[in-house]
């Protein structure tokens, strides 16, 4: 378009203030055409020039003024007005543009000469950056990309890499922390995504974690394992806080790369990893770690038939790293969390899988996992794997630097849980006293999820059956829990009321189907069910969500 051609750089030899001969010719031709015709031609309406020579079907000036204008004035006025307007706009742009470039270049230079990343700005600069709107932020990002590009064009690779690591990488880490914070700051009690969301930091209670473990598979009922764990140990145990999971005991002098954490079902392994990630994302602990990538085997299982490189796998789950172009993870301190090894449906053949050392080479997820755990792939990374005890032997002992065990709640922690759970402290005291009268219930409350089941049941019983007897056995507790869940199912899916009959034919059929599902899958050794498993038992996903 002519409006762009007229604003060429003075260094190109064409002054922007003069009208080209082509424009003069076009203006003369159009005026001549208008004097011979009552209306505009189709050619002039389609040309770019028609955008700047406006056709006025109704001139707003008085008739006598139109008569007094000669041909030269009619010819020059539209072009001159447009040019003047354009000059004015570009002068304003120049006034805004050069100070912006100057300030951004100063900022880039300050980043390159500083020992700190660009994310560690002064308080004044942080306030300015926080007040920026989306357009300003995108302008800064675009300028940074241009600067990186120009540095590399001038073969200043070291400076470009330094600038990238001090600006793009911290920004990527900031976005990752923000997303992980949003993901893990709330826990949902009750039906997934339908219960009351509660802040994890408000209800989290420090779990009892010990270093070491026999590594043996115990085939006894998990209740017996809990009872054994609740006894006073004959030897001194080393306890570990979740934020120190990679530090180990003080007497350890070697670097801990891979940690295996065992614990029975519902003992709090998943919440433990979420709390670790949340504390890191909120800049509370482990700030020597630049990137934390939490995975679950449940998520990974659906990728069994696909191929990824390690870089592609991270990009798949954490899109912030892909957007930042982050590919060289060996340059950073990275933590991979793999939660729920007992749910893993990969063979994890550590002896026969191919050797892999290139993080950009695509292969199966199974091969990626075995090489990452062995340390062939990205040996600088730290790994944290959680599992139930029965599945712990899938990882060769030589691949693990430290084994820990989540023992759940000690007796004081049980009381702390119920006092946090209930605002009415009189009610909390009554529940705690009742649990102490039942040995089996008190033992089972070592498991946090059983504490939640107990709190849910007893709250409902105290509300609906005032003065009634509270459940004292595990069987009674689970029956009452089934009743509570049945009520929730009726309210959520059938729009019923809490007073509706509980055991409708549909509810009976659903409970029988779920019982068959549990029995069949446990016989096969499966600890988690997928959609195909439920379909085999004639269960619809939506109907089974309440359990």
- Give residue 329's pLDDT: 92
- By the 8 A CB rule, do 229 and 445 touch? no
Calculate ∠ Cα 208-205-447, nearest 5°.
60
Main-chain phi, psi angles of 406, to 5 degrees: -85, 120
> What is the H or E stretch that residue 523 is in?
helix 505-524
- Give residue 226's pLDDT: 54
pTM score over 0.85: no
d(CA 80, CA 73): 10
- By the 8 A CB rule, do 343 and 298 touch? yes
For the chain (length 547 residues), average pLDDT per consecutive 10?
Answer: 40 44 50 46 39 41 46 58 82 83 82 68 53 74 82 85 81 94 82 62 90 49 53 64 84 84 93 96 95 96 94 96 89 95 94 95 97 96 95 94 93 93 90 92 93 91 77 91 80 60 74 86 78 79 52
């Amino acid at each position: 378009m002519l409006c762009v051609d007229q604003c060429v750089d003075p260094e190109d030899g064409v002054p922007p203030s003069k009208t080209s001969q082509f424009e003069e010719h076009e203006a003369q031709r159009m005026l001549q055409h208008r004097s011979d015709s009552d209306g505009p031609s189709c050619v002039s309406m389609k040309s770019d020039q028609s955008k700047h020579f406006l056709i006025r079907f109704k001139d707003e000036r008085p008739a006598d003024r139109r008569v007094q204008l000669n041909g030269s004035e009619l010819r020059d006025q539209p072009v001159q007005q447009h040019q003047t307007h354009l000059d004015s706009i570009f002068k304003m742009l120049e006034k805004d543009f050069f100070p912006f470039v100057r300030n951004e270049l100063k900022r880039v230079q300050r980043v390159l000469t500083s020992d700190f990343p660009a994310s560690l700005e002064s308080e004044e600069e942080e306030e300015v950056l926080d007040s920026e709107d989306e357009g300003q932020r995108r302008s800064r990002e675009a300028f940074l990309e241009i600067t990186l590009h120009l540095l590399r064009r001038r073969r200043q690779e070291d400076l470009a890499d330094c600038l990238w690591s001090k600006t793009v990488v911290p920004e990527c880490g900031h976005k990752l922390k923000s997303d992980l914070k949003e993901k893990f700051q709330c826990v949902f009690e009750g039906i997934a995504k339908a219960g009351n969301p509660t802040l994890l930091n408000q209800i989290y209670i420090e779990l009892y974690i010990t270093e070491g473990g026999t590594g043996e598979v115990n085939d006894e009922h998990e209740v017996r394992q809990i009872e054994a764990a609740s006894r006073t140990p004959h030897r001194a145990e080393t306890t570990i806080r979740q934020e120190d999971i990679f530090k180990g005991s003080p007497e350890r002098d070697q670097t801990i790369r891979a940690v295996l954490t065992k614990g029975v079902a519902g003992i709090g392994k998943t919440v433990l990893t979420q709390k670790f990630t949340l504390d890191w994302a909120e800049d509370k602990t482990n700030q020597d770690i630049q990137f934390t990538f939490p995975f679950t085997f449940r998520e990974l299982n659906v990728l069994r038939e696909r191929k990824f490189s390690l870089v592609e796998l991270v990009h798949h789950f954490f899109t912030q790293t892909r957007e930042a172009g982050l590919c060289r993870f060996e340059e950073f301190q990275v933590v991979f969390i793999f939660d729920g090894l007992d749910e893993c449906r990969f063979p994890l053949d550590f002896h026969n899988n191919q050797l892999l050392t290139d993080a950009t080479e695509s292969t199966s997820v199974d091969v990626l996992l075995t090489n990452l755990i062995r340390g062939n792939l990205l040996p600088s990374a730290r790994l944290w794997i959680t599992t139930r005890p029965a599945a712990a032997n899938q990882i060769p002992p030589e691949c693990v630097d430290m084994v820990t065990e989540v023992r759940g709640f000690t007796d004081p922690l049980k009381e702390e849980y119920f006092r946090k759970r209930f605002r009415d402290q009189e009610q909390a005291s009554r529940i705690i006293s009742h649990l102490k009268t039942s040995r089996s219930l008190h033992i089972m409350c070592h498991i946090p999820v059983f504490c939640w089941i107990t709190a849910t049941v007893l709250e409902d019983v105290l509300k609906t059956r005032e003065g009634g007897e509270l459940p004292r056995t595990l069987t009674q507790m689970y029956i009452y829990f089934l009743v509570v869940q049945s009520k929730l199912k009726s309210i959520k899916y059938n729009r019923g009321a809490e007073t509706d009959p509980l055991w409708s034919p549909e509810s009976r059929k659903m409970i029988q189907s779920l019982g068959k599902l549990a029995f069949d899958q446990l016989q096969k050794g499966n600890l988690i069910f997928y959609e195909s498993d439920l379909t085999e038992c004639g269960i619809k996903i939506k109907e089974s969500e309440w359990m």
